Amino acid sequence: MASSPFAATRRDLELADPPPPQSERSAVATEARDGTEASEPPPVAASAAPSTLSRRERVRANPLFETFQGRDFRFYWLATFAYFLVFGAQRFTFVWLVVDISGRAGLAGLTGFALGIPAFFVTLPAGVWADRLHRGRMVTSTNLAGAAVTFTVALLIWGDVMSVPLALGAALALGLATAMTQPPLTAIVPLIVPRERLMSAIVLRTMGQNLAQIFGAAIGGGAIAAWGFGGGFALQAGCYGLAALAMFAVRVPPLAQAPGERPPMRTQLLEGLRFVFGNPALRALMLIMAASGLFMLGPVFVLVPVIAEEKLGQEAFAAGLLFAATGSGMLLMSVVLASRRDLRGKGRLFLVNMVIGAPVLAMMGLAPWYWLLAASMFAWGLGGGIFVNMNQTLLQMNTPDRVMGRVMSISVLCIAGVLPLGSLLAGVAAEVVGADVYMVICGAVLLVVAVAAYARQPELRAME
C-alpha cells in the first residue's frame, strides 16, 4: 500500500525540526518565564510525605500556585482575562447598538455575522503569521488595534454621528482583530510555561477565559446603563489597552528560524494542514472537535432556552440559570484538573468523557422537569471542563513550537467554523421534529462518534 503524502510530509517536518527534549524545553520556558532562578521559591521535595508538610508548603506545592508563581504567566493570564472581557461584551453591545440605532431587530443577525465572518477567512493565515512573527508582539498589536476601533466607536457615538453602516464596519474590523488574536494568544502558553506545568497553565487560562466571557456581557450592559453606549465602548477600549500592556510585559522568547529563505505563506499553511491531518491522533481529535461543534455546542446554545420555555414553561431568568449551572460545572472541573500535578491517560480520559457526555446531552431533551434539565446542564459543564482543557492540552503537548500557531488556528476553525452551522441546523431541525427530539438525536449521534473513536483510534487513546 502506498504511503500517504501527509505522513511523508509529517516525517520530514519532524526530522527537520524535532521538538526539544523535555528538560531543555522546560529550562528555556523557565528562564523565559522567570528571568532568574531566584524569582521562584525553592520547590518542595516531591518525596516529602503530605503529613510532614506545613500548610504553607502544601499551598506552594499545589500546581495552581506553582504556575501562578511565574511572572510571565501572571501577565499572560491578565492579558487573556482582559481580552476575553471585551470578547464577551462585544456581541451583546454591538447588537444592542445596531438595534437601538435602527429599531430593526432583524439587523441583529447581520451584526453577529459581521463580527464572526472574518474568522472564516483569516484564522488559518493568522496561524501562519503566528509561526513567522513574534507571537507576543502580534497579540499586543491586535489588542491595540481593537482599542483604536472601539474608542473610535465611542467618539462617533459621543459626536452623534454613529450610523448602522459605521457600526457594522466597526464590527467587521473587530472581527478581523479577534481572528488575528486567537491563534498566537493560544500558542504562547508552551513558550512561557515548562512542560510539566502545561496542563495546569492551560486549565488556568481556560478558567480565566470562561469567567471573563461570563462577566463581559454583564459589565458591558452595566456600563451602557451607567454611562451610555459611548461609555460602554470606551470601557471596552480600556480593557483592550490593559490586555496590550499586560502582553507587552510578557517575555515571550522568539521562535528559532531555520536558515535560508522563508517559505511562502501558502507552503507553510499546507505544511500545517499536512502535519495535523497526517497524524492519526491529531486528525481524529480535530474531527471530534468539529463533530462536537455540529452536534453538541451549536444545538445546546440554540435549543436549551427553547426547551426551557416551550416544554418546561420557564421564563428567561430561569433559562439563564441553566447556563450558569454549566459554567459552574466547567469551573469546578477546571479547578480539579488544574490541581493535578501529573494526570496520566489524557487521550483515554478525553474519549471516555465523550462517551459519558453523549447520554447527558440526550437527557437535556428527555428531561420532564426543570431541575433535571438543570442537573443535566451542570453535568454537561463538568464534562465540558474535561473536553476543553484536554483537547487543548493534547494539542499543545504533541505539537512542535514552530507549527503551534498553525495547529491552534486549525483547532479554532474546527469550532468557530462549524458552530454556526450547528446552530443553523439545530434551528431548522427544531421546526421539523421539535427541539427536545433533536437534542436526543444529537446525543445519539455523538455517542456513536465517541464509541467509534474509542474503538478505532488507538493513537488518540494513547495520547499524553
Residue 328 maps to a domain: yes
Name the domain count of the chain: 2
Residue 95 maps to a domain: yes
- The answer on 414 and 279 residing in a single domain is yes
- The answer on 400 and 302 residing in a single domain is yes
Residue 177 maps to a domain: yes
What is the amino acid identity at position 446?
A: L
Rounded distance between C-alpha atoms, residue 18 and residue 8, angstroms: 15
pLDDT of residue 60: 55
- The answer on 344 and 236 residing in a single domain is no
Kindly report the number of other CB atoms within 10 A of residue 61's CB atom.
17
- The answer on 365 and 317 residing in a single domain is yes
* End position of a domain, from candidates 195, 217, 249: 249
Residues whose CB is less than 8 angstroms from the CB of residue 428 and which lie 6 or more positions away in sequence, other chains included: none
Tens digit of each residue's pLDDT, the chain (464 residues): 444 433 444 344 444 444 444 344 444 444 444 443 333 444 444 444 455 656 555 555 556 667 777 889 999 999 999 999 898 788 778 877 887 888 776 576 677 778 878 888 888 899 999 988 899 999 999 999 999 999 999 999 999 999 999 999 999 999 899 989 989 998 899 899 888 888 888 888 888 887 887 777 778 778 888 899 999 999 999 999 999 999 999 999 887 766 556 788 888 889 999 999 999 999 999 999 999 988 998 888 778 888 888 888 887 677 777 877 888 888 889 888 877 767 788 999 999 999 999 999 999 999 999 999 999 999 999 999 899 889 888 998 898 888 899 998 998 888 877 877 887 788 888 888 888 999 999 999 999 999 999 999 999 998 88
Rounded distance between C-alpha atoms, residue 281 and residue 287, angstroms: 10
- The answer on 452 and 314 residing in a single domain is yes
Sole residue written with cell 453577529:
112
- The answer on 297 and 234 residing in a single domain is no
Residue 52 maps to a domain: no
- The answer on 309 and 203 residing in a single domain is no
Residue 218: CATH number of its domain: 1.20.1250.20
- The answer on 220 and 303 residing in a single domain is no
* End position of a domain, from candidates 206, 221, 249: 249
Residue 384: which domain range?
A: 265-461
Question: Could you tell me the maximum CA-CA distance found in the chain, to the nearest angstrom?
Answer: 69
- The answer on 292 and 181 residing in a single domain is no
- The answer on 149 and 97 residing in a single domain is yes
8 Å CB contact between 274 and 10: yes
Rounded distance between C-alpha atoms, residue 279 and residue 267, angstroms: 18
* End position of a domain, from candidates 192, 215, 249: 249
Please tell me the total number of residues recorded for the chain in this structure: 464
pLDDT of residue 56: 57
pLDDT of residue 35: 41
Residue 376 maps to a domain: yes
Kindly report the number of other CB atoms within 10 A of residue 423's CB atom.
19
8 Å CB contact between 301 and 423: yes
- DSSP-assigned letter for residue 307: I
Residue 255 maps to a domain: no
Rounded distance between C-alpha atoms, residue 424 and residue 429, angstroms: 9
